Amino acid sequence: MRRHRPRRSALYVPGANERALAKCVGLAADAVILDLEDGVAPAEKVAARRNVLATLEASGARAERVVRVNGAGTPWGADDLAAVACGRADAICLPKVEGPEAVRDAAKVLERAGAPTGLELWAMIETPRGILAAPEIALASPRLGCLVAGTSDLVKELHARPSPGRPEVVTSLSLLLLAARAAGLAALDGVFLDLKDAVGFEASCRQGRDMGFDGKTLIHPSQLEAANRIFAPTADELELARRIRAAHAQAVAAGLGIAVVDGRLVEALHVAEAERILALAEAIARA
């Protein structure tokens, strides 16, 4: 189920913005990341936590509900984890994860607090050290469900210049994606900051989708439509997936090990990918 859950769009919502928290319930995001970290000023941290907990209690949102807590080394991190552990969140996003210990320590806190077994951890990777440790991070805990690329911080840490096509972070994104897939985790691409550049945003979504990401983290509701559209299977992909499944079923019924679709050999790996695409489309339709 984790593999097929739609995560085309994951919208950050600042925990200090009560109006945005109220509105996010009705949005078409696959996930909302209720933010206690970078999107909240230090003086508003405690109030933001109260706002987020109230939103979780009142929320009937269709979206997956994720809380990005403050880091363990901050004055608010431990209280954030303890407060969210037994609430109604679906996942907790850990910021600036640089090694497996951060995930393991958070998982231990959740266990001691009696958190439900279904409460996932997401690891946000946004530094060179985190990218290089991504394989170990991805295997750190059974609770871990997703790796999230923090490209804004990563660009800063690399001393890079943002540019079209994102060559400055493609290697890092590929390493993160490889680590996620090797561990059977979901992977989310980083944010696109220029809200006026719709063309650039769609290009960034297509790049992330073509690389293999499940979806994209977003900073504004105006980005939802494009992300949901681009990260969903296309009509052509669905039609081909159905034909692959049917051809394989016919081959099996005839006692054959392989099938041919559009002149191309269909093997087990193609059938598995077809089934994944169809399951994702069904999950999107149910959402």
* Total residues found in the chain within this entry: 287
249 within 8 A of 271, measured Cβ to Cβ: no
Which pLDDT value is given to residue 62?
A: 79
What distance in Å separates the CA atoms of residue 173 and residue 175, rounded to the nearest whole number? 5
Q: Is 27 exposed, middle or buried (0-12, 13-18, 19+ CB in 10 A)?
A: middle
109 within 8 A of 82, measured Cβ to Cβ: yes
Which pLDDT value is given to residue 1?
A: 39
Task: Kindly report, residue by residue over 158-205, the tens digit of the pLDDT.
Answer: 999 999 999 999 999 999 999 999 999 999 999 999 999 999 999 999
Phi, psi of 48 (to 5 degrees): -60, -40
Residue 127's pLDDT band, with cuts at 50, 70 and 90, is very high
For β-strands 259-261 and 264-266, DSSP reports them as antiparallel
Which pLDDT value is given to residue 257?
A: 77
What distance in Å separates the CA atoms of residue 176 and residue 136, rounded to the nearest whole number? 11
Which pLDDT value is given to residue 268?
A: 87
Q: Where are the domains of the chain?
A: 9-230, 235-286
Mean pLDDT of the chain: 94
Percent of the chain's residues with pLDDT above 70: 98
pTM: predicted TM-score of the whole model, two decimal places: 0.94
What distance in Å separates the CA atoms of residue 58 and residue 79, rounded to the nearest whole number? 21
Task: State the amino acid at position 274 in one-letter form.
Answer: A
Q: Please give the class, per CATH, of domain 9-230.
A: alpha beta
